[in-house]
Amino acid sequence: MTVFRIVRNTVLTVLALLWLVPVYLLIVNAITPLSEYQGEPLWFPVGFDLWTNLVSAWNESSLGLGMLNSLLYSTASALVAVLAAGLAGFAVVTMPVRRPSLWFWLIYLGTLLPLQIFLAPLFQTYVDTNLYDTSLGMILIYSAICVPFAFFVVRNYLTTIPPEIAEAAKLDGAGWGRLFFQIHLPLIRSALFAAFIFQFTWVWNDLLFGITLTTSPDRRPVMAAMAEIGGGFVSLGPPVVLAGALLVSLPTVILFLSCQRFFVSSLRAAA
């Protein structure tokens, strides 16, 4: 058992170090002064000019506005998605619906289809309905895309709740609405929170819909703004682009690290 633990810890340490190598390179090159950058990735710091690089990245594209837009899209879409997933999971697991397995696969199928197949019809529909380049349009599509995986997490968690709880509540005269909002909703808070973190991170990091369904800076999410900086990779210099990437990654890193213990325990319970 001791040998197994040593091997396991060694493998995990090596994997962690391999994962940290790109992060290390990102930080080292992001803090490098433009005057010291020679066109090749640096493995060791040769100076510290992170603030200047951040200011250049901030001024070259509306990163601040993009981060506010992404904060709106990520928060609103994740909240709508986890609420819809909670209601759908409650219906499939607790309510006497016909063929619950069929409903499960119909909803979960949304995670199995490549997102690119939605672009052409979605773009045309958004143009026809005046949802193109609007905040409402972005929240709607992100909410719809986030529902299937959130439903998967919440539904699995709901299956661990004893059915006797629902039966006792119904004997006391509780309707389906009261049963969900007053009894099941508090019980599945941890699963909803885990799903929220997943979907918040996915929406924040999305580029595909950001560059397809928006054009104006006041509607563009942060990754689309980063793509504009990346388009000037040669003229701006890699340290500026990497500094911008470091900045826009901080919110999701902070969210995950601050909720890590709760997030892991929620996933373990939903597995």
Q: Are residues 98 and 85 in the same domain?
A: yes
Burial 55-65 (b: 16+ CB within 10 A, else e): ebbbebbbbeb
DSSP tag of 96: -
pLDDT higher at 262 or 106: 106
3, 4, 19, 20, 127 from 14: Cα distances, Å? 17, 15, 9, 10, 50
Mean pLDDT is highest, among 66-75, 114-123, 209-218, for 66-75
CB 61 within 8 A of CB 228: yes
Q: Are residues 36 and 6 in the same domain?
A: yes
Q: Are residues 92 and 10 in the same domain?
A: no
pLDDT of residue 25: 82
Least confident of 29-43, 109-123, 128-142, 184-198: 29-43
267 is a domain residue = no
Average pLDDT of the segment spanning 198-206: 90
Average pLDDT of the segment spanning 70-89: 91
CA angle 135, 120, 229 (to 5 degrees): 55
Q: What is the dihedral of CA 76, 88, 197, 138, to 10 degrees?
A: -30
- What band does 162 get if pLDDT is binned at 50, 70 and 90? confident
In 3D space, the residue among 88, 120, 94, 86 whose CA is nearest the CA of residue 106 turns out to be: 88
| Domain hosting residue 41, numbered range | 1-60+232-249
Q: Are residues 178 and 188 in the same domain?
A: yes
Amino acid at 123: F
pLDDT of residue 80: 93
Q: Are residues 53 and 183 in the same domain?
A: no
Burial class (CB in 10 A: 0-12, 13-18, 19+), 47: middle
Least confident of 19-28, 210-219, 235-244: 235-244
pLDDT of residue 81: 92
pLDDT of residue 1: 55
- What band does 44 get if pLDDT is binned at 50, 70 and 90? confident
160 is a domain residue = yes
Q: Are residues 108 and 92 in the same domain?
A: yes
- What band does 231 get if pLDDT is binned at 50, 70 and 90? low
Q: Are residues 150 and 206 in the same domain?
A: yes
Average pLDDT of the segment spanning 132-147: 90
Q: Is the pLDDT of residue 270 over 70?
A: no
- What band does 232 get if pLDDT is binned at 50, 70 and 90? low
Q: Which sign does the torsion angle of CA 145, 151, 154, 156 carry?
A: negative
pLDDT of residue 236: 67
Average pLDDT of the segment spanning 232-252: 75
pLDDT higher at 263 or 156: 156
The answer to pTM > 0.75 is: yes
- What band does 76 get if pLDDT is binned at 50, 70 and 90? very high
47 is a domain residue = yes
116, 129, 216 from 125: Cα distances, Å? 15, 6, 19
Average pLDDT, the chain: 81
User: What percentage of residues in the chain have a pLDDT greater than 70?
Assistant: 90
DSSP tag of 242: H
24 is a domain residue = yes
d(CA 48, CA 32): 6
pLDDT of residue 225: 82
d(CA 204, CA 25): 22
Average pLDDT of the segment spanning 244-265: 77
Q: Are residues 192 and 153 in the same domain?
A: yes
In 3D space, the residue among 256, 258, 248, 255 whose CA is nearest the CA of residue 67 turns out to be: 248
CB 153 within 8 A of CB 198: yes
254 is a domain residue = no
